[in-house]
Structure 1
């Protein structure tokens, strides 16, 4: 039996640019923070509530210890 380790979705206190949302998502899914930030920036070119979603995630995702 193998054990998988999952990381909780939290915003880091260090290594974040604005609120740490992209850095937290990157850490949770094993990606580079720069890649997630670029995808978030590119998604703002599409119509939709991306900026509002970022603000909601900023409030909803807890900071890590």
Structure 2
């Protein structure tokens, strides 16, 4: 079995980086994964919180599901 199956970051997976975190690193991880600026993802998340929906629950679920980079 290859190393990339054990380490998601080796195949471009979704991980929470140890640096550039504000709360849990979810927005920083999403920004890195999709090639966006972290500030843009954070702003989009804040703006999405103004709309009705389960944004906070999705953030918390991603915080629990996404592995940390360390």
Q: TM-score, normalised by structure 2?
A: 0.82
Which ranges of structure 2 fall in alignment gaps of 5 or more residues?
A: 1-10
Q: Find the aligned partners of 2:40 and 2:65 in 1 and give their Cα distance.
A: 22
Select the structure that is richer in helix. 2
1:36 to 41, 55, 69: 41
| TM-score of the superposed pair, with normalisation by structure 1 | 0.88
The CA deviation at 1:24 is 0.1
Residue-pair matches, total: 60
The CA RMSD over aligned residues, in Å, is 0.9
2:53 aligned residue (38, 44, 48): 48
